[in-house]
A and B are shown apart, each in its own frame.
Chain A
């Protein structure tokens, strides 16, 4: 006893003292307004964001040329005069930035800040998911981005070669698409000239890996040329700072929703100080990427004389504790500073949404922008029956669906029946969507018969889609050569853990209604994404959130060759309709063309089975005003006032 008693006592006193010291040093005063972002913020870099919880913070700390109305989320005035000048051909917007637009350190907001921000959104390396918003709309952006991507591919390949490492066919293909290949080609056997298929790519990769060319020199030449040309190439993109406060944007084609886009996070500005954290030689990494130190989004980052994150929105980030709390404080240089009633805002992180809800019930939190709890059906009931007036249901601009693999003939050595549109249709007809929405999920989602949420877009009339019809489904399956599900190979259904309930119900429906054998495959998000992108699935879950108020935000997904067309669907008629709509200036005509295109998907070809349009329950304490449920779940906090 004598031996270990001192241990226990000294140890425990020490530990308790430590704990006290730890907590007394971290006592925090609560903010004026507190809300929960379930999994925290992935990134505060607007160019890299893809998650709505990140968007929510970004749109409060930065201000785009336009912003969105807190009630309707329609575009309204932002950092620029509203509305901006639009040329008569509807191709040139001239934004005039307000004189009183200022950054959180007092600097005036300049047109060049927007160009910097937008350029980060396009550049390979800084821009990620939403580069297409620029390439689809801004004149010259597509050419610039592809020029940059090609160079990146070639530089990456040559960088390997100059280190004496082998390259694979993908790298060889990238290299062959770059102009420098003209210098390389003469040193290769003459068979390699034009487009390659995979086998030739492999052969080319071998040739290149084995060749004795001076890759160091070739690489350096390409790199220098590329760097020298970059700014000149970028000037061909339709972005121009006419003077400090005037930004002229030239569009590729008329874009009726462009002012909506400019309120999107990818179109936010970027303060000049960020350039201090550019990590690269001559502006680029050896692979040709533009890369910044990811620490630039930290308020406390002081590397290279960087002053910490500077933003131009109604708030600035005053403190950010990883996975715990992000505090925003009102920006004293913002023109609306005097009207902002909630001076400090805490974004709290509760990984467990149930805990978040309990914290809300206990009054520790004022607002839950999502209640994705396992018992959300009870929340929905409470909201719908009016028992809890502080629970609101937002009909979101989003669709949940199952997508079919439409192109691969064989998957895992099994024939894929879904290359036949009749089978897809049969599977779609055999799904009882009402049961899924009303019995399985019970959260008050909207049953989806179309891809685009109906009545979400003014002037756009969705088709009616199809209704459940098991007899018809059986007949179609019969026609396709699978009477009563005979000969039908075991069908795999790929999904992520959150789809567990829906997918089990779907599997059962197909098994009982069609006699199919369904193999469920629940996968972790990352391997799911990889399998889906590589077409290793027959049926896979999918969802799509509309990014801007136009049908194309949904319909472009099924364009042949679109990067998000995971089902590999391709229909010439569909592509043509989209293309025609793109070049149609008349709104009514344009929308009707798009509606025709949608009809092809949801009534004829069925690359997907739309299941439901999400309803997202949110909770707002009754003493909070200025927050409005809206389909895009955008919540500008500058209008929020709390009266406890």
Chain B
């Protein structure tokens, strides 16, 4: 067990370093002059000097300096938002995105898993078909459409929630629901398939033969196995949800992380690009690690497979 975990941990570190290297090369390749804020051009001497000041005139030096800073959680200045360091920006935005993301994933699991179980247990009935179709519609609509529709319904047509922004509990439901919709759909599909698989397996037949009640067979015996693929999906999904969604943040005016993934790249803001990537990768890798541990605890056979 311990050996397994240390190995995973080492791999996680290697992955992280590789992510940093790849991102760095991407950043260096991106054109655009980060210091110029408006349409007006900057004297070339000053531009050169600023580049040199941030070690951006020497990629090798920049590589090490940024890495050195990143280890101490100091991601350097942001060139888009002059008055803020990247660390401050992440510190402001991440808790907001994380709140929405964790709630969205919880909501998705609490809704998606039962839906999947019900749909699997009533295979090929109208209930199953309508759940499956509903789920597919959920996957087929872009988030910006569902978000806009929810916004129109709950703030304009039937104004029970605030429009957008952040700060009170009432600001939560719409972004959380919008963000969770695709996750619900996915988790539901996964559960349904895994349940179908589980229900046709020998030990379920044994359980039924032994006279376990259908309810217990479904919700205890079968779901226990069927939950494993959901669990391995939830890991990366949480990382994605926690680091924010550009669309949800844009539609509901939430000041989270998602916008920085897009804006940093569009603004050629090197420091912000790398800090957002690192935040994403670290959360993804660590969540995968946690899922690994959970997996091993739920199903000790897994370790043997490695």
A contact set with B: CB distance below 8 Å: 1-4, 8, 11-12, 15, 18-20, 22-23, 26-28, 40-45, 48, 50-51, 124-125, 128-129, 149-150, 152-153, 155-156, 159-160, 165, 170-171, 174, 285-289, 291, 294-295, 297-298, 321-324, 348-352, 355-356, 358-359, 362, 364, 524-527, 529-530, 532-533, 542-543, 563-564, 566
A288 B220 Cβ-Cβ under 8 A: no
Of the candidates A28, A150, A355, A362, the one having the most CB atoms from chain B within 10 angstroms of its own CB is A355
Task: Pick 15 A–B contacts, CB within 8 A, sort by A.
Answer: A2-B224, A23-B168, A45-B83, A152-B45, A153-B45, A171-B48, A174-B45, A287-B50, A294-B85, A348-B165, A349-B255, A350-B253, A351-B259, A526-B33, A542-B39
From B88, which residue of chain A is reached at the shortest CB distance? A322
CA–CA, A9 to B122, complex, Å?
26
From B92, which residue of chain A is reached at the shortest CB distance? A322
CA–CA, A525 to B262, complex, Å?
13
B48 A156 Cβ-Cβ under 8 A: yes
A525 B41 Cβ-Cβ under 8 A: no
B164 A125 Cβ-Cβ under 8 A: no
Verify if B197 is at the interface (C-beta below 8 Å from A): no
Residues of A within 8 A of B151 (CB): 355, 358
From A159, which residue of chain B is reached at the shortest CB distance? B52
Given A18-B99, A22-B99, A352-B251: A295 in contact with B83 (beta carbons within 8 A)? yes
B93 A160 Cβ-Cβ under 8 A: no
Residues of A within 8 A of B34 (CB): 526
Residues of A within 8 A of B49 (CB): 124-125, 152-153, 155-156, 285, 287-289
Please report which residues of chain B, range 250-265, place their CB below 8 angstroms from some CB of chain A when the two chains form the complex. 250-253, 255, 259
From A298, which residue of chain B is reached at the shortest CB distance? B83
Partner of B220, one of A1, A27, A124: A1
Residues of A within 8 A of B255 (CB): 322-324, 349, 351
Given A1-B220, A348-B165: A525 in contact with B267 (beta carbons within 8 A)? yes
Verify if B95 is at the interface (C-beta below 8 Å from A): yes
Residues of B within 8 A of A40 (CB): 81
B92 A1 Cβ-Cβ under 8 A: no
CA–CA, A124 to B93, complex, Å?
32
CA–CA, A359 to B171, complex, Å?
12
Min CB–CB distance B136 → chain A (angstroms): 26
From B35, which residue of chain A is reached at the shortest CB distance? A128
Min CB–CB distance B50 → chain A (angstroms): 7
Residues of B within 8 A of A174 (CB): 44-45, 48
A526 B46 Cβ-Cβ under 8 A: no
CA–CA, A591 to B83, complex, Å?
40
CA–CA, A238 to B219, complex, Å?
84
A526 B266 Cβ-Cβ under 8 A: yes
A28 B82 Cβ-Cβ under 8 A: no
CA–CA, A264 to B173, complex, Å?
44
Of the candidates A11, A23, A165, A298, the one having the most CB atoms from chain B within 10 angstroms of its own CB is A23
Given A4-B298, A294-B77, A355-B252: A350 in contact with B164 (beta carbons within 8 A)? yes
